[in-house]
Structure 1
């Protein structure tokens, strides 16, 4: 019973905040999702990542091991998922990125924070950064059908991660007044991302629910299995291992849908994946947390 209550205490705030966004839109209130998303991804999330890395007391060697494990997980997921899609003759442009990249920002960061505290958040931002880098390069290249893979160099998320890693490794800290400002700005990120997730899900118009359900279940199996195996191979400590599995196993991110719209992939199909995988996560993530705690 105590474990059930603990899992509910961790997951309830996450889904309640998303529900606020969902209900807000259904009631007909305005929500400028483009503005909020841009502010979160260019301002509050980079501040959150930088301060979390700068202030973390985690051994840099442990963060390095987690970084390498994250790279291994996403490399393996990319190869396995591409093979599955090739065998089933499904469109790689539409399905590859959504099945690889989870909602490590909107859902993964707050879950890691609520479940494992500041140490969990420090680990989670590492996985998030690896995912974001691969998504902004390879992910966009796949969805767009080619083109430049250097967009990541323009992303504040990347530079926040690099600076945070440098400050962590050197033991540096910004002046107190600046640290307090950055922390306040970063604290906006989690509630903003969760409410925006609910808004985005409320506005989506999904395509085939049957195919989306099958692929969402496949994503869960591949993500949990791959991250579990590679996490054990790298010998991660219990918290780092749990955060890796949790982050990689989050549902399809709304950004996958936005990229599908922008680059002319099958946006309705991706919307179906976002909706179904997010609904499945209401059951799957608490069960996964119960195993990992």
Structure 2
């Protein structure tokens, strides 16, 4: 109960704010999601890669993130073929299971659970997840609409993917951004996480519970909340990571379905009702699973 009150509950209060806002005003989410995807996230990505040092821990974060995602993709594709899902169902299933909500849920959880050092690991991990979502997630979301060509074109249009290399080069060559300009970049980037948290709460308010496919959502929840952290634990055993970094990677892998996938599902009309339903149920179920996991580690 102490972990729930001090770690989980404060995060949920922000979701509730977005939920109540949408219930009262019934706003159009498309322009807000466009703002988050095309403006706020690119600033956050640039700021992180410009300020966070690249070391072996960063290497382990990138490698473990890619491996966890790859295993989940292979398992998800196999499962979708076994269950004979159509293309749209398979894309929505993959969107809901591959990517954890490491940004607007994971960062606050890690901050409350492990403190500043945990956040120092969680921030580049969250950015890595965001990049993978910005490439693989958008490809999957747009693939249901127009095939591989349209998906690739959509990926190439995402500004977030074009700020990484300049940020890394500027850091490595110690190109200094004037203080006031850097503060402006940080100010915009820092708004990304709370706004996406509010958007998630707003989208959850639009979910029609009566129309949920509970069988498919239960399967998503099992993969996202149980299987994913188990895979993360096994993969972490392959690398000489510190106990704290290992715990952060496992906890971040145990997050519910990513809010960004809900944004992409809205943006590209990739079964947004199902994806947002999975986000809702996995988010609610994570109250139990994360509390148990945090007590175990």
Distance 1:130 1:52, change over 3 A: closer
Distance 1:264 1:46, change over 3 A: closer
Q: Counterpart of 2:279?
A: 274
Separation (CA, whole Å) in 1 of partners of 2:168 and 2:288: 34
Separation (CA, whole Å) in 1 of partners of 2:40 and 2:118: 19
1:212 to partner: Cα distance: 1.1
Asked if the contact 2:96–2:220 (Cα under 8 Å) also holds between the matched residues in 1, the reply is no
Distance 1:98 1:282, change over 3 A: same
Unaligned 5+ segments in structure 2 are none
Asked if the contact 2:50–2:170 (Cα under 8 Å) also holds between the matched residues in 1, the reply is yes
Farther off after superposition, 156-165 or 260-269: 260-269
Separation (CA, whole Å) in 1 of partners of 2:167 and 2:114: 20
Q: Counterpart of 1:224?
A: 229
Q: 1:8 aligns with which of 5, 8, 21?
A: 5
Distance 1:138 1:53, change over 3 A: closer
Q: Counterpart of 2:82?
A: 87
Asked if the contact 2:100–2:255 (Cα under 8 Å) also holds between the matched residues in 1, the reply is yes
Q: Counterpart of 1:177?
A: 180
Q: Counterpart of 1:198?
A: 201
TM-score, normalised via structure 2 length: 0.82
Q: After the TM superposition, which residues 67-216 of structure 1 pair with which residues of structure 2 at under 5 Å, given as runs?
A: 67-91=62-86, 92-143=90-141, 144-145=143-144, 146-148=147-149, 149=152, 151-205=154-208, 206-216=211-221
Q: After the TM superposition, which residues 26-41 of structure 1 pair with which residues of structure 2 at under 5 Å, given as runs?
A: 26=23, 28-41=24-37
TM-score, normalised via structure 1 length: 0.83
Asked if the contact 2:4–2:287 (Cα under 8 Å) also holds between the matched residues in 1, the reply is no
1:60 to partner: Cα distance: 1.5
Unaligned 5+ segments in structure 1 are none
Separation (CA, whole Å) in 2 of partners of 1:278 and 1:40: 20
After superposition, the C-alpha distances for 1:47-91 in whole angstroms (9 at most, x for unaligned) are 3333334333x5622101211111111111111222222223234
Q: 1:51 aligns with which of 43, 47, 52?
A: 47
Asked if the contact 2:46–2:164 (Cα under 8 Å) also holds between the matched residues in 1, the reply is yes
Report SS of the residue matched to 1:99: helix
